[in-house]
Chains A and B, each alone.
Chain A
Amino acid sequence: MADLRSNFIGIKSPNPFWLASAPPTDKEVNVRRAFQAGWGGVVWKTLGSEGPPVVNVNGPRYGVVYGADRRVLGINNIELITDRPLEVNLREIKSVKRDYPDRALIISLMVPCDEESWKAILRQIEDTGADGVELNFGCPHGMAERGMGSAVGQVPEYIEMVTRWVKQHSRMPCIVKLTPNITDVRKPAEAARRGGADAVSLINTVNSITSVDLDLFSPQPTIDGKGSHGGYCGPAVKPIALNMVAEIARNPATAGLPISGIGGITTWRDAAEFMALGAGNVQVCTAAMTYGFKVVQEMISGLREYLDDKDITMSDLIGRAVPNVTDWQYLNLNYTTKAVIDQDACIKCGRCYAACEDTSHQAIAMEPGRVFRVREDECVACNLCLDVCPVENCITMRELAIGEIDQRTGQPVRPYANWTTHPNNPMSRSAAE
Chain B
Amino acid sequence: MTNSQLTPGVVPGRLPAEAYAKNFSDHAPPLAPHEARVAADRCYFCHDAPCVTACPTSIDIPLFIRQIATGTPDAAAKTIFHQNILGGICARVCPTENLCEGFCVRETAEGKPVQIGALQRYATDHLMAKDDHPFRRGPATGKRVAVVGAGPAGLSAAHRLAAKGHEVTIFDARPKPGGLNEYGIASYKAVEGFAAREVDWLMGIGGITLRPGMALGRDVTLAGLQADFDAVFLGMGLQGVNALQTEGEERGNVDDAVDFIRDLRQAGDLSALPVGRDVVVIGGGMTAVDAAVQAKLLGAQNVAIVYRRDQSRMSASRHEQDHATAHGVRIICNAAPLRVIGNGAVREIEFMFTDDSLTDTGERFRLPCDQLLRAIGQRLDGAPDALTLTRGKIAVTGPGRSSIPGIWAGGDCASGGDDLTVTAVAEGRDAAEDIHAQLMEAAHG
Do A and B form a real pair?
yes
Contacts A348-B46, A370-B48 known; 4 new A-B pairs at CB < 8 A: A68-B37, A68-B38, A348-B50, A348-B105
CB pair B41–A347 under 8 Å, yes or no, is: no
CB pair B46–A350 under 8 Å, yes or no, is: yes
CB pair B41–A349 under 8 Å, yes or no, is: no
Question: With A and B bound together, what is the CA distance between A114 and B263 in angstroms?
Answer: 89
How far is the CB of B280 from the nearest CB of chain A, in Å? 43
B245 located at the interface, meaning its Cβ lies under 8 Å from any Cβ of chain A in the complex: no
CB pair A351–B46 under 8 Å, yes or no, is: yes
Question: With A and B bound together, what is the CA distance between A68 and B44 in angstroms?
Answer: 13
**A352, closest chain B residue (CB):** B47
Interface string of A346-379 (1 = CB under 8 A from B): 0111110110000000000010001000000000
How far is the CB of B307 from the nearest CB of chain A, in Å? 33
Question: Which residues on A are within 8 Å of B, measured CB to CB?
Answer: 68-70, 347-351, 353-354, 366, 370, 390-391
CB pair A347–B109 under 8 Å, yes or no, is: yes
CB pair B109–A390 under 8 Å, yes or no, is: yes
CB pair A69–B47 under 8 Å, yes or no, is: no
Residues of A within 8 A of B365 (CB): none
A-B contact pairs, 21 of them (CB 8 A): A68-B37, A68-B41, A69-B38, A70-B34, A347-B108, A347-B109, A348-B46, A348-B50, A348-B105, A349-B105, A350-B47, A350-B48, A350-B49, A351-B44, A351-B45, A351-B46, A351-B47, A353-B47, A366-B47, A370-B48, A370-B50
**Interface size range on B against A:** 10 to 19
CB pair A391–B109 under 8 Å, yes or no, is: yes
Question: With A and B bound together, what is the CA distance between A366 and B49 in angstroms?
Answer: 13
**A389, closest chain B residue (CB):** B44
Residues of A within 8 A of B41 (CB): 68-69
Given contact pairs A370-B50, A390-B109, A391-B109, A349 touches B44 in the complex (Cβ within 8 A): yes
CB pair B47–A349 under 8 Å, yes or no, is: yes
Residues of B within 8 A of A370 (CB): 48, 50
Given contact pairs A354-B47, A370-B50, A390-B44, A348 touches B108 in the complex (Cβ within 8 A): yes
Residues of A within 8 A of B109 (CB): 347, 390-391
Residues of A within 8 A of B48 (CB): 350, 366, 370
How far is the CB of B53 from the nearest CB of chain A, in Å? 9
Residues of A within 8 A of B105 (CB): 347-349
How far is the CB of B48 from the nearest CB of chain A, in Å? 6
**B45, closest chain A residue (CB):** A351
Interface string of B3-41 (1 = CB under 8 A from A): 000000000000000000000000000000010011001
B101-119 contacts to A, CB under 8 A, are 105-106, 108-109
Residues of A within 8 A of B45 (CB): 351
Question: With A and B bound together, what is the CA distance between A347 and B50 in angstroms?
Answer: 11
How far is the CB of A173 from the nearest CB of chain B, in Å? 46
**B42, closest chain A residue (CB):** A68
Question: With A and B bound together, what is the CA distance between A353 and B46 in angstroms?
Answer: 10
Question: With A and B bound together, what is the CA distance between A370 and B52 in angstroms?
Answer: 14
Residues of B within 8 A of A391 (CB): 109
Residues of A within 8 A of B108 (CB): 347-348
Residues of A within 8 A of B50 (CB): 348, 370
**B47, closest chain A residue (CB):** A350
Residues of A within 8 A of B46 (CB): 348-351
Question: With A and B bound together, what is the CA distance between A390 and B52 in angstroms?
Answer: 19
How far is the CB of B263 from the nearest CB of chain A, in Å? 45
How far is the CB of A347 from the nearest CB of chain B, in Å? 4
